[in-house]
Amino acid sequence: MTATPAPPRPTGQAAIEAAALRSDRFRQDREADWQRLEEIVTRMERGRLRKLSDEDIVALPVLYRTVASSLSVARETSLDAATLAYLEGLVQRAWYLVYGPRVTLWGWLARFFGGEWSRAVRSIWPELLVAFALMAAGTVVGWQLCAADPDWYYSLVPGGFQDERVPGASREVLSSTIFGNADQDGKSVFAASLFSHNAGVAILCFALGFAFGVPPLLLLIQNTGTLGAMLWLFDGQGLLIDFIGWLSIHGTTELLAILLAGGAGLHVGRSMAFPGDLTVVEAAARAGQRAAVVMAGVVFMLVIAGMLEGLGRQLIDNTQGRFMIGGSMLAIWLSYFFAFRRAPLGSDAL
């Protein structure tokens, strides 16, 4: 049998007319969905959400997928450039409304400071109690070790902190490190090093929480062991209260940030070690969401601590004033976390 020859492909003007006809039919079959989606998107972009019916809101994701499918077909069949450009723009606008962020930066900040952060902190209160006990124990252990053998001081206190602040230093030398050095840049190195050290500890306490909470335990003890050793050193020359006052300006904020970071790390570790009815991955994901909110606040606290440390050292050179600043900051933080518990409207508890 002789094969029937295939019809010749249209060329020239005939090909252009065929492509135009195909594009017109494609648009006619789907244009109603495109127009409805564009109308919904335009209203939402203009802030006219109240004019949208329930049917329009429910139809939005369905229409988005339909138009996205139309765009895919249009690209495969090489339809006219105007149709492609229209569909690409419409899909991009609709994607932002369906999957894009639902809140502005200012809205997120209002929600975060309006209750989300404080609720996240309260939700990990068992871990915070454990972290606080560890920090207190580390401070006591660091003090006792140095009291029993001063050589422990060199093991507990990092080398960067050991300038004039070493066992055997006179009262005058130690006093000069915390008083009368507002205009001496060299004296500020210690405070800056202390802040950097504590900020690093806070971040590590959270970052290593996935190892079932063991590294945060050790970091909290080790860091407060350093604090205990320095408290012992200044107590030996009768400067304990003055040193605590010097530290309190930024220390109440900074040490509280370390406590929160340690609690967040322990929360993740505990959830992984004891997931309950959830899988380990699910438990870690849920705990990680709470801990991440806590850590976002910790970063903010560390910034505030750095500002207090810099300004406080320059402006306040007496123990009473330092205690007033440090105590006021501690009261503010505790009041925010535990005294005011009103959840903003429309917020979800963590």
**Cβ distance 231 to 224 under 8 Å?**
no
Mean pLDDT for 309-330 is 85
The verdict on 280 and 169 lying in the same domain is yes
Indicate the DSSP class of residue 338.
I
Mean pLDDT for 115-127 is 91
Q: Given pLDDT bands bounded at 50, 70 and 90, which one contains residue 235?
A: very high
Residue 9 lies in a domain: no
The verdict on 57 and 136 lying in the same domain is no
pLDDT digits (tens, 9 = 90+) for 208-229: 666 666 777 888 888 899 999 9
The verdict on 260 and 242 lying in the same domain is yes
Q: Which domain holds residue 46?
A: 19-99
pLDDT digits (tens, 9 = 90+) for 57-94: 788 888 888 888 888 877 777 667 777 888 888 888 88
Residue 159 lies in a domain: yes
pLDDT digits (tens, 9 = 90+) for 258-277: 899 889 888 888 888 888 88
Residue 93 lies in a domain: yes
From residue 260, alpha-carbon distances to 66, 182, 194, 290 in Å are: 47, 30, 18, 12
Q: Where are the alpha helices (DSSP H) in the chain?
A: 13-45, 54-76, 81-99, 105-111, 117-123, 125-148, 152-156, 171-178, 188-207, 214-235, 240-273, 280-315, 319-334
The verdict on 248 and 327 lying in the same domain is yes
The structural domain count of the chain equals 2
Mean pLDDT for 144-171 is 86
